A and B are shown apart, each in its own frame.
Chain A
Amino acid sequence: ELKVEQNPLFLSMQEGKNYTIYCNYSTTSDRLYWYRQDPGKSLESLFVLLSNGAVKQEGRLMASLDTKARLSTLHITAAVHDLSATYFCAVNFGNEKLTFGTGTRLTIIP
């Protein structure tokens, strides 16, 4: 079965702290995407990871991909309130569609 699992499902963290969201997937893929969704809004593309060892950074967010471990991480550095949102990873398993993780609802507390 093609599955994508994210953890944690919920994350409440203080401003200024660092944390990591994990995305595990069930079978071989080298195409993984991270999206952000604000309440009531659509999905915004954050990162596209297309090869083993890929690392992308934008502001306080950094994403990486380890295809051998079937694992991607989204690292948050020195969190600020604006980063509060739901984050989804999604994997293309080569079957014409994206399989989404369950999402991580991130709340940054002042």
Chain B
Amino acid sequence: DTEVTQTPKHLVMGMTNKKSLKCEQHMGHRAMYWYKQKAKKPPELMFVYSYEKLSINESVPSRFSPECPNSSLLNLHLHALQPEDSALYLCASSQDWRDEQYFGPGTRLTVT
């Protein structure tokens, strides 16, 4: 099973809302990632978790808050977002940070 799942597929939220994105993998991977992708651009790394610890935060605004409750789950908590945060949010996982990353289907986020 080489699947990474993400929920929800689509999310529309107002600038005062709080919502969460969820990512799950059951491949025993120990590294998990959040990316943000704008149209016609490559994915931009936001966070890296390695062995359930946050190892990289690419200077992401505090309105994005990651959480790794266990080795299979990764959440991204959203609060007071701006319209420019509208994008495709991708989760990925890999056996180790050196290894191939497998991407989930993404959450299409629209902030109104």
- Interface centre among A35, A41, A96, A105, by most chain B C-beta atoms within 10 angstroms, is A96
Chain A 29-43 interface mask (CB, 8 Å, partner B; 1/0): 001010100001111
Interface residues of B in 18-63 (CB under 8 A from A): 31, 33, 40-43, 45, 48, 50, 55-56
Residues of A within 8 A of B88 (CB): 40, 42
B102 CB within 8 Å of chain A: yes
What total count of A-B pairs have CB within 8 Å?
49
Count A-side interface residues using an 8 Å CB cutoff: 21
Q: Please, how many angstroms separate the alpha-carbon atoms of A105 and B88 in the complex?
A: 18
Smallest Cβ distance from B17 to chain A, in angstroms? 23
- The CA-CA distance from A103 to B43 in the complex, in Å, is 10
Contacts of A52-97 to chain B: CB distance below 8 A: 88, 92, 94, 96-97
Task: Verify B42–A103 contact, CB threshold 8 A.
Answer: yes
**8 Å CB interface, B68-112 against A:** 88, 90, 92, 97-98, 100-106, 108
Please determine whether A42 and B48 come into contact, CB atoms closer than 8 angstroms.
no
Q: A33-B100, A43-B90 are in contact. Are A100 and B43 (CB under 8 A)?
A: yes
Shortest A53–chain B CB gap in Å is 19
Contact assessment for A96 and B48 in the assembled complex, using a CB-CB cutoff below 8 Å: yes
Closest-CB distance, B12 to chain A (whole angstroms): 16
Instruction: Closest A residue to B50 by CB, please name it.
Output: A96
Cα(A48)–Cα(B99), bound, Å: 9
Distance in Å: Cβ of B47 to nearest Cβ of chain A: 10
A7 is an interface residue with CB less than 8 A from chain B: no
Contacts of A98 on B, CB cut-off 8 Å? 45, 101
Give the nearest-CB partner of B31 in chain A. Answer: A96
Partner-A contacts on B (CB < 8 A): 31, 33, 40-43, 45, 48, 50, 55-56, 88, 90, 92, 97-98, 100-106, 108
3 nearest CB pairs, A to B: A100-B42, A96-B97, A43-B103
